[in-house]
Structure 1
């Protein structure tokens, strides 16, 4: 079996890599045209470059016919799911659970607090040397709904705990019980949305969650509620959100958008009541040490023939 492992982090910078595989560095390069470090046909484990455009990540996949593992460095694997037809059968696709929870949860809380407390307005006023006071809602005593209660959703609730929120409701694909309380299935959303002051989206992008926050979803949110998206842009129907923002009924804080990157001139840039950050939930100083630990642990499992962690799916060769 082929033993080449392609890493987007120089292997000499990762402690604890097992002996045996040949480690090759490839991150696509600044413009995405970096030559391949070896023959893609000899690659058994492909660690997808982080913070690269989809076409760059997918470029070697059609030639990786001996591939056994695809390891992303993101919580979502949608960039890989779009290219399943390029993968041979039996490939395990793994996500980066444990890498981005801290950073993304921090940003989610930042977006909530900045939006509720009017920080964007303060920044604009400062630029104009204008002392702008006023009354703003606190996070304390608010009801929060987390849609997508996986590792990141749980980390968000951990950071909400000290802020004296009135209530946290949790939604995931299916019902279960967590350490903090019940987790509702997606089918319960219509009854939960009208009671939430803040709705945080942290769900993976799948066929079931694409445009989950559509016109009907947004219409059920209470007047004056805040929508926060740290998931993926297409989880929200942009046109439906724009209609609510322009009407002033809802506000939003978005780390991800659809389209992304958001092009100049797009109406979302200047919609009232919206705060936009440029998909920076994951890339912080917390990322690299956690990514290195994940890769070392996964590759030790692979080298020793042990079950891999965080397997999202195994391909069957049909592209499904």
Structure 2
């Protein structure tokens, strides 16, 4: 590491965005398009939800030592990670935004807010409804993939008078192991998916998984689209036995005419989990702290692949 660290950042005014660059950092801008000189770049922050071009450019940085994502997910970068490069994710940055959206999707589905929007567009005030809306009170919410976002979700659900069941890959105090799902799923009124996209979780929510849900259960996916078998979900939705509210889909973007768009009992949000005003200040604090750590030789946080630094 030289006296000055070359960083490649996705903001045109990185110093302004970060509230000043740490000492020893020389930053340049890249978010796609014309590329600056890349030979001496040691620290790279790809653009949020960056294109394939923004990701593949890591292969043109021979001096690269660190990639710091702005997302919690990082599976799209792993194929481009060469030996000796450290990959750090944005664990914690999206906790507030994603947890808020998960609560919003539950409430919107339970209180049938999409129906209210359609009525408003038509200028209709129905004289009565045939059924009561569902309440989150007295329900059981199973959080699958209980990490920092799961903790943030539970804090926000506190006060809604619902029971929380926590599930993670391994059991720990107060958290069930994923192997216990066959016993836990039939109890759940709401299942919130927060798992990362890995070889183990891809297609995990399949026909067998969905069949274990009780009639009327709500599946909320704020994780990754590939965690859910789309064909299996469609088959269940068409029977109107369960409901779904999703921020992510497989495929994504969901193409026009895809049967998910017209399936009954589903609310689709176009992958906006992290896109809130809570994002920018949190990612700025993380990136600035990581740059300062790297420039001063302190250990980096959120290392998910490659050597620790």
Q: State the 4+ residue runs in structure 1 displaced beyond 3 angstroms.
A: none
Query: What does residue 36 of structure 2 align with?
Result: 37
- In structure 2, the CA distance between the partners of 1:122 and 1:280, relative to structure 1 (3 Å rule), is same
Please give the per-residue CA displacement for 1:42-89, whole angstroms capped at 9, x wherever unaligned: 211111110323x123221211222111100001111212333xx2x2
Query: What does residue 289 of structure 1 align with?
Result: 281
Task: Give distance in 1, aligned partners of 2:305 and 2:183.
Answer: 31
Assess if the C-alpha contact under 8 Å between 1:116 and 1:138 holds in 2.
yes
TM-score under structure 1 normalisation? 0.91
Task: Give distance in 2, aligned partners of 1:72 and 1:198.
Answer: 30
Task: Give distance in 2, aligned partners of 1:187 and 1:16.
Answer: 47
Assess if the C-alpha contact under 8 Å between 1:24 and 1:38 holds in 2.
no
Find the partner of 1:175 among 136, 160, 171: 171
Assess if the C-alpha contact under 8 Å between 1:68 and 1:90 holds in 2.
yes
Query: What does residue 249 of structure 2 align with?
Result: 257
Task: Give distance in 2, aligned partners of 1:122 and 1:186.
Answer: 37
- The root-mean-square deviation of aligned C-alpha atoms, in Å, is 1.4
Find the partner of 2:134 among 128, 132, 137: 137
Assess if the C-alpha contact under 8 Å between 1:251 and 1:273 holds in 2.
yes
CA deviation after TM superposition for structure 1 residue 111, in Å: 0.2
Count of paired positions: 301
Taking the TM superposition and a 5 Å limit, the aligned residue runs for 1:43-192 are 43-53=41-51, 55-84=52-81, 87=82, 89-132=83-126, 133-134=128-129, 135-165=132-162, 167-177=163-173, 182-192=174-184
Query: What does residue 226 of structure 1 align with?
Result: 218
Which structure 2 segments of 5+ residues have no match? Answer: none
Task: Give distance in 1, aligned partners of 2:288 and 2:76.
Answer: 23
Please give the per-residue CA displacement for 1:287-320, whole angstroms capped at 9, x wherever unaligned: 111111001111111011111011111169xxxx
Q: Which has the higher contact order (CA 8 A, sep 6+)?
A: 1
Query: What does residue 7 of structure 1 align with?
Result: 9
Assess if the C-alpha contact under 8 Å between 2:96 and 2:152 holds in 1.
yes
